[in-house]
Amino acid sequence: MKSTLHELIDALPKAELHVHLEGTLEPEMLFELARRNRVALPFDSIEAVRRAYDFSRLQDFLDIYYAGTAVLQTERDFRDMAMAYFRRARADNVSHVEAFFDPQAHTERGISIEVVANGFLEAASEAAELGLTVYLIACFLRHLPEEAALATFDDLRTYLDRLTGVGLDSSEVGHPPRKFQGVFARARDAGLKVVAHAGEEGPPEYVREALDLLKVDRIDHGNRSLEDGELVGILRERGVPLTVCPLSNLRLAVVKTLKAHPLPRMLEAGLKVTVNSDDPAYFGGYVNDNYRQVADAVGLSKDDIVTLARNSFDASFLPTERKRAYDEEVLRVAREFGISSA
């Protein structure tokens, strides 16, 4: 009988619900695309790039993240970057991905929204050959005004039937969800799912605003929700999922150590928490790395790991019958590991 926790993590099917496609740009591909498109980089080697990935806060990361997008110029570039991530995710036994992308990070530098969307949509279609389903979520940059988000939403209208939802990301502090009520209302009216980053660096009140004003289906991160007992109760009663990213939290100093990560308290509180990689090229780990390292640090049990894998599908936007099928597969694998609760 298989036994180790890491073997269980590797074997379980999983969904990834919080990953930024631009955040999967590994240094090797960064240099490859820079050569392809004749873009000058402020780094002279891959090692120099990796040394720069030493962040003390979210903004430090965002500065490098947005600089890296300069190498993305053509549909092929966006397709190649996404496919590299999809292959890596599949190697971690990820069966379903709901991936973010940032249209404004590209249109702001003169790349058309058609180039961005077509490249990512082509990759999402090709991912089926890997045995992977992909849903795309277009995010609005919260450090820009809502007017810019509304214009971006209008530009995306011809793609809405191929997008699953919209989200809200970028610099959180000082940019509360309430700024974006209008564009989120339009997205909901168009039948899209809506999600938002909240409670990563921002206060619990941002989570409340995302729930009550934006009417989100999921909260991305949500760590600081635990500071508000009433809010925890609301999240539990409504069954609102949290897409938590342990290695991201560590690298951006949201937690001082992985041992201090709130994941066990979230599970104990009955919250529908999931584990994800966020921007894996920058934070040193894809999905299984996040599972393994946080499990080792906080002492998660095999039952906890199975719960997290089940949550990942339950919290997804997949049709109910597909969720049920994946849940049965998770439980089948769990039984192979002698997990009686499965």
What is the rounded average pLDDT of the residues 271-295? Answer: 96
SS3 170: coil
Condensed to tens digits (0 to 9), the pLDDT of residues 183-236 reads 999 999 999 999 999 999 999 999 999 999 999 999 999 999 999 999 999 999
Question: C-alpha 211: how far from its chain's center?
Answer: 18
Q: How confident is the model at residue 69 (pLDDT cuts 50, 70, 90)?
A: confident
The yes-or-no verdict on residue 276 having pLDDT over 70 is yes
Say whether 339 sits in a helix, a strand or coil.
coil
Please report whether residue 35 resides in a domain: yes
Map tokens 């938590």 to a residue: 244
What pLDDT is attached to residue 56?
A: 66
Whether 168 has a pLDDT exceeding 70, the answer reads: yes
- Full domain range(s) for residue 179: 5-336
Residue 342 maps to a domain: no
For 257: left if phi > 0, alpha if psi spans -120 to 50, otherwise beta; the answer is beta
Cα separation values, 308 from 39, 314, 317, Å = 41, 10, 16
The reply to whether 55 falls in a domain is: yes
User: Looking at the domain assignment, is residue 160 inside a domain?
Assistant: yes
Handedness of CA 187, 193, 197, 199 (dihedral sign): positive
Cβ 291 vs Cβ 275: under 8 Å = yes
What b/e readout covers 110-137, taking b as 16+ CB neighbours within 10 angstroms? ebebebbbbbbbbbbeebeebebbbbbb
Name the amino acid, one letter, at 228.
D
Written as six digits, the tokens of 6 are 């890491």
Q: Check residue 342 and give its pLDDT.
A: 56
Contact 193, 165 (CB under 8 A): yes
Active-site residue (options: 26, 75, 200, 209): 200
Q: How far apart are CA 146 and CA 179, in angstroms?
A: 6
CATH of residue 151's domain is 3.20.20.140
Integer Cα distance of 148 and 74 in angstroms: 23
Q: Please indicate, yes or no, if residue 105 is contained in any of the structural domains.
A: yes
Partners of 244 in beta bridges: 275
Radius of gyration of the chain (CA): 19
How much is the average pLDDT of 37-42?
88
For 157-167, what is the mean pLDDT?
98
Name the residue among 247, 253, 244 with its Cα closest to residue 282: 247
In a domain, 341, yes or no: no
Known catalytic residue at 200:
yes
Reference 25, options 277, 250, 245, 282; nearest CA is: 282
Its sign, for the CA torsion 200, 206, 207, 210, is: negative
96 and 318 Cβ atoms separated by less than 8 Å: yes
Q: H-helix or E-strand containing 78? A: helix 75-91
Looking at residue 1, what is its pLDDT?
39
Name the percent of the chain lying above pLDDT 90. Answer: 86
How many structural domains comprise the chain?
1
- Give a yes or no: residue 235 inside a domain: yes
Contact 15, 287 (CB under 8 A): no
